[in-house]
Amino acid sequence: MKVVENQSLQGLNTFGVVAKTRYLTSLNGLDDLPQYAEWLSANDVPSLVLGGGSNLLFKNDFTGIVAKVDLAEKSLIDSDNDFYYVQAAGGENWHQFVRWTIDQGYAGLENLSLIPGTVGAAPIQNIGAYGVELVDVFESLQAFDLQTGEVREFSKEACQFAYRDSFFKSQAYGRYIILSVTFRLAKKTDWKLNYAGVKDQLEGEPTARAISDCIMAIRQSKLPDPAVIGNAGSFFKNPILDKSAWETLRAQNENLPGWEQPENTMKTSAAWLIDQAGWKGHREGDAGIYKNHALVLVNHANATGADLWGVAQQVIYSVQDKFGIELEPEPRVL
Ligand SMILES: Cc1cc2nc3c(=O)[nH]c(=O)nc-3n(C[C@H](O)[C@H](O)[C@H](O)COP(=O)(O)OP(=O)(O)OC[C@H]3O[C@@H](n4cnc5c(N)ncnc54)[C@H](O)[C@@H]3O)c2cc1C
């Protein structure tokens, strides 16, 4: 394991903001893990596990060590009458892995096509898109515990998946490095086509490849490409409200969207709230809200992390003021 000092993070975050880390290392194999744990106990600095940097905002330089997970490998590890069990290492590129499963004839991940980042980060916020979440196809994961130095297996229940959340994003933040994820992909296909116009835009019979292609095309038409305009996808989570609070707000705002959730709650649309508060397309220097999607905070060129966070905070205050709802950022803000 090699540790280098004073490294730029600009190419390692999809906002493309200029930031530096005091130390940077790459975890390429399982042998690196005990060495990394030892390094951390010998050097009393903050640590950050990094995948593709597509769900992070660096407001400042990082004063500790960034460990980039570069573990690679993917294979079919088992199958039974109903499922294929496919395992991928934490450093595998998520979208390339999804397309690889399709090439092998395994269906189930197609709706999650073109989400940036790595396999190891996917469970952190239970990634989701177009009516499917990671939890729907998840079997188990293996993670290295930086406190005990042991590798531990986590079942679905132990991961405590919720909407854009998990055990790893909340209670255990920073404690585990996710080494590999095992997916349970059903042999009997159950296409999810009812979300955001997928059915209308799909050409011909549904297949995993056709759905993946269709979702890639929809996403490319709606979301900015981080290689062109820096962003981290949706910057705000959709708020979950008590049903009675949602009904009160709906009485004052007849177009307020709402989707039934468990335990008498409703999810509403952060994009709608931000749009109504007048922020869509807003720009301050190079920081702004994307003109085609109110959830996406964008770096048009040279915005700093502080500039972007400044715009995000104004959006949060303004939505709180207008609707009494406190928006929560989806990415990790550092
Ligand atoms: C254009 C765009 C579109 C997006 N669309 C979606 C979408 O549709 N749905 C969605 O859910 N998300 C979406 N995202 C957000 C993002 O792609 C996902 O959250 C993705 O899983 C982040 O992966 P990453 O490897 O880049 O994680 P990073 O940004 O590197 O890290 C995110 C968090 O995970 C932790 N982490 C990363 N890897 C590991 C590991 N191996 N072990 C332990 N902790 C780890 C980090 O410490 C950090 O807290 C989008 C982002 C962009 C830029």
Tens digits of residue pLDDT in 184-204: 999 998 899 988 779 888 988
Residue whose Cα lies nearest atom 51 of ligand 1: it is: 233
Q: How far is the CA of 250 from the centre of ligand 1 (A)?
A: 32
The closest alpha carbon to 273, from 233, 241, 230, belongs to: 241
Provide the CATH topology of domain 3-69: 3.30.43
Contact 175, 145 (CB under 8 A): yes
Q: Is the CB of 115 under 6 A from ligand 1?
A: yes
In the chain, which residues fall in CATH 3.30.43.10? 3-69
Q: What is the pLDDT along the chain (334 residues), one digit of tens a residue?
A: 999 999 999 999 999 999 999 999 999 999 999 999 999 999 999 999 999 999 999 999 999 999 999 999 999 999 999 999 999 999 999 999 999 999 999 999 999 999 999 999 999 999 999 999 999 999 999 999 999 999 999 999 999 999 999 999 999 999 999 999 999 999 998 899 988 779 888 988 899 999 999 999 999 999 999 999 999 999 999 999 999 999 999 999 999 999 999 999 999 999 999 999 999 999 999 999 999 999 999 999 999 999 999 999 999 999 999 999 999 999 999 9
Is 164 annotated in the active site?
yes
**Tokens encoding 293:** 């999607």
**pLDDT given at position 79:** 97
C-alpha to C-alpha distance for 183 and 243, rounded to whole angstroms:
34
Instruction: Establish whether residue 57 lines the binding site of ligand 1, counting it when its CB lies within 6 angstroms of any ligand atom.
Output: no
Question: Is 329 near ligand 1, meaning CB less than 6 Å away?
Answer: no
Intervals of CATH 3.30.465.10 along the chain: 74-222
Looking at ligand 1, which residue's alpha carbon is closest to its atom 39?
121
52 close to ligand 1 (CB < 6 Angstrom): yes
Sheet containing 47-50: order of strands = 3-8, 20-27, 62-69, 47-50
- 234 belongs to the catalytic site: yes
Pocket of ligand 1 contains residue 88 by CB under 6 Å? no
203-to-111, 114, 188 alpha-carbon distances in Å: 15, 19, 21
Residue from 47, 164, 180, 184 carrying the catalytic annotation: 164
Tell me the whole-structure pTM to 2 decimals: 0.97
Establish whether 330 is a catalytic residue. yes
* Closest residue by Cα to residue 5 from 81, 90, 63: 63
Looking at domain 230-333, its CATH architecture is Alpha-Beta Complex (3.90)
Residue 54 near ligand 1, beta carbon < 6 Å:
yes
Token pair listed for 201: 């835009």
Whose alpha carbon is nearest atom 20 of ligand 1?
A: 117
Q: How far does residue 286's CA lie from ligand 1's centre (Å)?
A: 23
Residues 6+ apart with CB under 8 A from 221: none
Say how many residues make up the chain. 334
For 74-222, CATH gives 3.30.465.10
Nearest CA to ligand 1 atom 2: 233
CA distances from 215 to 109, 111, 187 (A): 11, 7, 21
Where does CATH 3.90.78.10 sit in the chain? 230-333
Q: Is residue 55 lining ligand 1, measured as CB closer than 6 Å?
A: yes
CA 232 – ligand 1 centroid, Å: 8
In tens, the pLDDT along 62-117 reads 999 999 999 999 999 999 999 999 999 999 999 999 999 999 999 999 999 999 99
